[in-house]
Structure 1
Amino acid sequence: MNLELMIDAATTGERFPRELEILRQLADGLPQIVWVARPDGSHEYYNKHWHDYTGLTLENSTDDAWCELLHAEDRERAQALWHEALQRGTPYEIEFRLKRVTDGAYRWFLGRSLPYRNTNGAIVNWFGTCTDIQEQKLAQDALRRAHDAMQRENVQKDEFLGMVSHELRTPLNAVFGWTRLMQENVLSEDERAQAMDSIMRNSQAQARLIEDVLDITRIVNQKLSLDRCVLNPWDVVTEAVEAVLPSANTKGVTIKSSMGAYDLLVSADRMRLQQVVLNLLTNAVKFTPAGGQIRVEIARQRGSAAIVVSDDGQGVSAELLPHIFERFRQGDSSSTRHHGGLGLGLAIAHQLAVMHGGDIEVESAGRDQGSRFTLLLPIVAVGNPEKPEVDVLAAIEDQSFPAQSLRSLHVMVIDDEASVRDLLALTLAKCGASVTMASSVEDALALLPNLSPDVVVSDIAMPGLDGYDFIRQLRALVRPGGADLPVIALTAYASLQDRNRALEAGFDRHLTKPVDPAELVRTIAVSHSSRRAKAAAER
């Protein structure tokens, strides 16, 4: 059937009535708005979907009615493109928002129109469709927002990596510089003492930075777990305050603490809870000027145990406040910032609080108005917790360095790093021990049949056979002492999972690198004493 004749039938209703009805049924069955316009752009046909969506009849569907239906932001653009298509006789395509009559909501549509020409090239009609693309637009917007968020996070990560490099190199520079001067023997006794103090302080600072990076990585990868017990949070707060007090005194900042509730008990990982409180206190000291004051309080709030750390320092700007616990986010990440650090402390503290079933809330009136951080933890009981058994290691006298505490002991050290072996051998020898060194598990196993060490200190990650291979073969030995010889894991694998795996494998204790030499010596002494006590009890 000739299309011109069909069009003529559509306009007059007198010719080809059956074909006309088929066309109308087809158009009404489409999920799109279908329309036909005259050469001047005036509409002469709409399908049923147009009437259902707009509530308009053909007679009411004027240009003004179209303008009313179009979103105000799309109206001018849509009209301009339509008039341009009419003048040039070119196809028309546009995305716009159209109001729905049932609820007044605007939905996105893709509008398309093509001119139909007769044999002479003159435009006879315009055929158009409007396709609902609301879901596609929402998906596009979501993808765009996700992309923008990823871009922002990538920028923050780049800034963070730059800060990591800066913050790790800064203490390393002090360690390297002072060590070099000591090698050259150009320092006086007082300067050597200053050098040693600076090396120790900066080494500890670098260890804390590395631990923060590892913690946030464990949290992101859901590899961090908690070793819970029932405890009174006041004990944890007291220890944290004592730890941060020297830096507060040096800066001239006062710390005052009060206890509004004495008997609240929580279920928490003691070490991780102390880390949270310490991070809050360290943050308060960092951003409180000399002469300022920090207050620490424990109270009951909204049915939870609340540890409140408030200060009268720098405060938090309104722009930063909603993002204060985000990773890779700092108030000032520029090269001219006044405060160092990676900006991970609060992010770690918040995540640890959430893992405990709690939260951290922050309040600040703005810059220079101080801040208030409230750690909320679920209360599991009221009263006094059962006293845990005293750790033998903690009961040993806390000397600055336990010299001669290993007298007459024989210690075997297994580590593939020569510098580690040398440091451990010198440390243990200074404490009176005789030391056998092995650079691999294979060497250690070859030496053992002819040795009777009192304690073994072993690395875990080594080429060839590792520490787990060693402990498995050692515990399988039938010779006396093989099964109960104290073995201490000294490793860079520092997570709770790593510790549990080492203990389950057969190690007696787990220490992480870098280790305080005094802590290592005390651990060896305790391990040996525990073995002797066990042997005496079995006799």
Structure 2
Amino acid sequence: MPMEPTFDPASRYPLDFSALFDAAPSPYLVLSHDLHIVSVNQAYLNATSTRREDIVGRGMFEVFPDNPDDASASGVANLHASLQRALSTGRPDTMAIQKYDIRIPTADGIRFEERFWSPVNTPVLNAEGTVTHIIHRVEDVTEFVRTKDHTARMASTIDDQAIEIEIANRRLREANETLEQRVAARTEAQRQTEEKLRASELRFRLMADSIPQIVWIIDDSGRGVYFNKQWSAYTGVDLDPTSPYEVSEKFVHPDDHAATMQAWEAARKSGGHFSVEHRIRSAAGCYRWFLVRAESWRDPQSGQILMWFGTSTDVHDRKMAEAALGAREEQLRLAIDAADVGEWDVDVVSQTMYWPRRVKAMFGISPDRPVVLADFYEGVHPEDREHTFASFEAAANPQLRLQYAAEYRTVGKEDGRIRWVAAKGRGLFNDAGECVRVIGTAIDITERKANDEALRESEDRLRQADRRKDEFLAMLAHELRNPLAPISAAAELLQTGRLDEERVQRTSRIIGRQVRHMTGLVDDLLDVSRVTRGLVELEKLPVDVNHVIADAVEQVTPAIRARRHQLELRLTPHATLVQGDSKRLVQVLANLLNNAAKYTHEGGNIRVRTDVRDAHVLIEVSDDGIGMAPELVARAFDLFAQAERSPDRSSGGLGLGLALVRSLVELHHGTARCESAGLGQGSTFTICLPRLPAGEDSDAAHASAGGDSATQAGGLRILVVDDNADAAALLAMLLEASGHQVTVEHDARLALARAKKEAFQVCLLDIGLPEMDGNELARRLRTCPGTAASVMVAVTGYGQEKDREQTAAAGFDHHLVKPIDTGVLASILATVPPA
């Protein structure tokens, strides 16, 4: 019976697998079991800059030794170990990325070039399972290591491999069909060809199974034709001839399914490239990211799509790294935004520059305006260019490579504003040691600089204030010692007992004058304290400025006469009213007049002038005295400010008067101004106060402070209680000299006992008594029959408002501050009716 003819596919499309191997885009090299090079494709020769005739038949490590200039080179050792593992185990061995430098011929000889490779060593087994050869496949991943763009290049390489295998398989299938059609006429040569084809297909299947990517082939309808073993190893299933939709629905992550099918349908419609990234479920049920790419395989004659050849590359680690990098970049952006930092980048080679919106604003440039390197050089303030540019050049200098750090001013290109900028950066250098870029950050420190300057000015003011305080304390000591000296001398003189009446009176007047001087010093200090703490309460009424000036002149007339000054008054002819505290305004004018008298030479001129301007009243006090230097004019109203004095400080004073003037005037909603043409040119002080509208009732401005009472001709019974025996004795002597009957006690309990037996019309009580203070004594005296209705007068060294409130609450009628003003005390006693 004649044999049924068999189908010989090789008879239709004969294939040259050597040519296919040599045309493969991936670098392949075939080694014998003793590691000699048997075959190599053109891609491998190109990648290693070698020639086929120079390397085939030679030992692997004879052709590719380690770089002798690299003491740490380990490429030969690592590759040899991997090849030995493949030989001993019979399984593919995938190596980690290796640094394996290659020799490059140059005009000067041979040099080694740094390269990084991703090798896979796959053993080829014969029918008995013995390793006959090793397929050494490598990928040059040098650029991946340098630029972290390995994924894109690897995917491109895989696409090339996929097309290669797809074309090879198509030709193989065509060859099989040809062989089947010509089976009847098969010859020994055809049989040998079929065996070669089968061996070639086996080799290519081994090659497809040796690469780490999933390789697949589907027909035009989308049904599976071929999947390499990586597919089953990852998914746990073999070839599944189902539709792409079913494959996607079964293995692709639900969130990626729609995008995958949309890309597939678009590729089928256009017949072009298919590419998508999606997550594929593994046999363990977890998902990993894959880059899926495929190309169509068309019939050469009809152009109809016959197959789709594709690869699926695991890019999960890359995706996770990108996500982590994105998160870090977002954190960095948030940190930069929070710190208001601007990034900048200068390309030294092209002399171009990148500035974001923030940096442009630091140079006064609009956000949408392009910038060039000249904008930086021109924008830096001329005074700051030298050190700024020197620091920048040091950062770009390959020998120095210093950090760029500079603080400089900028001049706004569009707005002309001066800003302060703090910049930091560093240079980036290529393998040749040349600076290619300088990158860094900049921050606007204008506000910080202003704060620093304000802080320095504040510190200067504090130092000046501290210096003036020291000067004031020295002045205070001097001013207090001045009156104490005559008082002490007078006291010693009185103790001699050898003075006649006239000398006693003269000595008494000296003591009185010096006490009044000391009282004035203390009152000024207390006034300043009360004003600065806001404790002064003004009793504002309509006040005639002319009357205020008259009262002030009356107070200072003795000082003016003593120095024989000529006083000129130029006042408005009609009443000029302001809303104010008459007593405090008199104090203001008296201080100005005293100041003029103090600093005007004997026989000099002082002038007081008033004027009305719009809604204000001006009071001007001028003199032709010693004048003031400009620096003193600027701080004339500061505490403790005074002109230079001779060592004897003949004019005296604490430098408080003008400070009080300004504070009291400001409490009246007015202003105080000082002017002087210079030393020896005199001074002018001008007070400006709000004027009351015309027609306001001015009766209060003319009210008299007098009363009906007169000093009693008859004496009063007075109880004096003070633990200071000298002070009590002197006060008693003063009262007795006025005709009063005085009883003195130095202890509060003895005073209470006395009040139970005797009656007193007036009680003068010291507050700072031991055991029982004056406030408590007053309360108890109010319960005694002899003092229940007495006029209680507190005599104390404390004169603050809270002290007055405490004495009033204790039942006192009056509060006198030591040393007692005898005129005020006489006025109080004059109001007490006789017994």
TM-score normalised by length of structure 2: 0.55
2:685 counterpart of 1:376: no
In structure 2, the partner of 1:470 is: 777
2:757 counterpart of 1:450: yes
Cα distance in 2 for partners of 1:236, 1:117 equals: 83
2:733 counterpart of 1:426: yes
Deviation string, structure 1 residues 56-85 (Cα, Å, up to 9, x no partner)? 9999533x4322111122111112223334
2:724 counterpart of 1:412: no
Cα distance in 1 for partners of 2:620, 2:772 equals: 50
The farther-off stretch of 355-364 and 333-342 is 333-342
* Bigger relative contact order (CA 8 A; separation at least 6): 1
**How far did 1:278 drift?**
0.9
Q: Which amino acid aligns with 1:72?
A: P
In structure 2, the partner of 1:385 is: 699
Deviation string, structure 1 residues 462-514 (Cα, Å, up to 9, x no partner)? 34433332333344x2x656543211122222345644654455322222211
The farther-off stretch of 481-490 and 114-123 is 114-123
In structure 2, the partner of 1:83 is: 393
Residue 336 to residue 466, structure 1, CA distance change in 2 (3 Å)? closer
- Note the 1:71-150 alignment, pairs <5 A: 71-85=381-395, 86=397, 87-115=399-427, 126-150=438-462
In structure 2, the partner of 1:508 is: 813
Q: Which amino acid aligns with 1:467?
A: G
Task: Give 3-state SS (helix, strand or coil) of 2:510's partner.
Answer: helix
The farther-off stretch of 462-471 and 28-37 is 28-37
2:553 counterpart of 1:260: no
Deviation string, structure 1 residues 345-396 (Cα, Å, up to 9, x no partner)? 1111121111122232333333333333233333335564156475448x53
Q: How many residues align?
A: 515
Q: Which amino acid aligns with 2:710?
A: I
Q: Which amino acid aligns with 1:515?
A: I
8 Å CA contact 1:28–1:48 kept in 2: the answer is no
Cα distance in 2 for partners of 1:207, 1:367 equals: 32
**How far did 1:152 drift?**
1.5
Cα distance in 1 for partners of 2:742, 2:349 equals: 98
Q: Which amino acid aligns with 1:71?
A: H
In structure 2, the partner of 1:491 is: 796
The farther-off stretch of 378-387 and 302-311 is 378-387
**How far did 1:412 drift?**
0.8
In structure 1, the partner of 2:510 is: 198
Cα distance in 1 for partners of 2:520, 2:790 equals: 33
- Note the 1:240-259 alignment, pairs <5 A: 240-259=552-571
Cα distance in 2 for partners of 1:258, 1:504 equals: 47
The farther-off stretch of 47-56 and 254-263 is 47-56
In structure 2, the partner of 1:523 is: 828
Residue 414 to residue 190, structure 1, CA distance change in 2 (3 Å)? closer
**Identical aligned residues as a percent:** 31
Task: Give 3-state SS (helix, strand or coil) of 1:263's partner.
Answer: coil
Cα distance in 1 for partners of 2:614, 2:761 equals: 55
**How far did 1:287 drift?**
1.7
In structure 1, the partner of 2:663 is: 351
Task: Give 3-state SS (helix, strand or coil) of 2:549's partner.
Answer: helix
2:658 counterpart of 1:327: no
Deviation string, structure 1 residues 1-55 (Cα, Å, up to 9, x no partner)? 99x96997599xx9899979969988887443323456x7986652533674355
- Aligned with 1:34 (options 343, 351, 357): 343
Q: Which amino acid aligns with 1:46?
A: Y
Residue 309 to residue 179, structure 1, CA distance change in 2 (3 Å)? same
Larger C-alpha radius of gyration, 1 or 2? 2
In structure 1, the partner of 2:710 is: 396
Residue 124 to residue 510, structure 1, CA distance change in 2 (3 Å)? same
Task: Give 3-state SS (helix, strand or coil) of 2:820's partner.
Answer: coil
Residue 15 to residue 151, structure 1, CA distance change in 2 (3 Å)? farther
Cα distance in 1 for partners of 2:358, 2:793 equals: 80
In structure 2, the partner of 1:68 is: 378
Cα distance in 1 for partners of 2:786, 2:584 equals: 36
8 Å CA contact 1:93–1:113 kept in 2: the answer is yes
**How far did 1:283 drift?**
0.9
Cα distance in 2 for partners of 1:501, 1:514 equals: 20
Aligned-residue Cα RMSD (Å) equals 4.0
Cα distance in 1 for partners of 2:452, 2:633 equals: 30
- Aligned with 2:745 (options 434, 438, 444): 438
**How far did 1:218 drift?**
1.4
8 Å CA contact 2:428–2:436 kept in 1: the answer is yes
Q: Which amino acid aligns with 1:523?
A: I
Q: Which amino acid aligns with 1:344?
A: L
Deviation string, structure 1 residues 510-531 (Cα, Å, up to 9, x no partner)? 22211144543442242345xx
Structure 2 runs not aligned, ≥5 long:
1-96, 98-115, 117-141, 155-317
Residue 483 to residue 192, structure 1, CA distance change in 2 (3 Å)? closer
Cα distance in 1 for partners of 2:144, 2:643 equals: 70
Task: Give 3-state SS (helix, strand or coil) of 2:768's partner.
Answer: coil
8 Å CA contact 1:490–1:512 kept in 2: the answer is yes
8 Å CA contact 1:259–1:297 kept in 2: the answer is yes
Deviation string, structure 1 residues 231-269 (Cα, Å, up to 9, x no partner)? 333333222212211221221112233431432333332
Cα distance in 1 for partners of 2:806, 2:612 equals: 38
Residue 144 to residue 184, structure 1, CA distance change in 2 (3 Å)? same
Deviation string, structure 1 residues 403-428 (Cα, Å, up to 9, x no partner)? xx553x32111223222212122222
Task: Give 3-state SS (helix, strand or coil) of 2:677's partner.
Answer: coil
**How far did 1:206 drift?**
1.8
Deviation string, structure 1 residues 293-342 (Cα, Å, up to 9, x no partner)? 22234443332333332222223333322221111212226747663211
Cα distance in 2 for partners of 1:110, 1:443 equals: 78
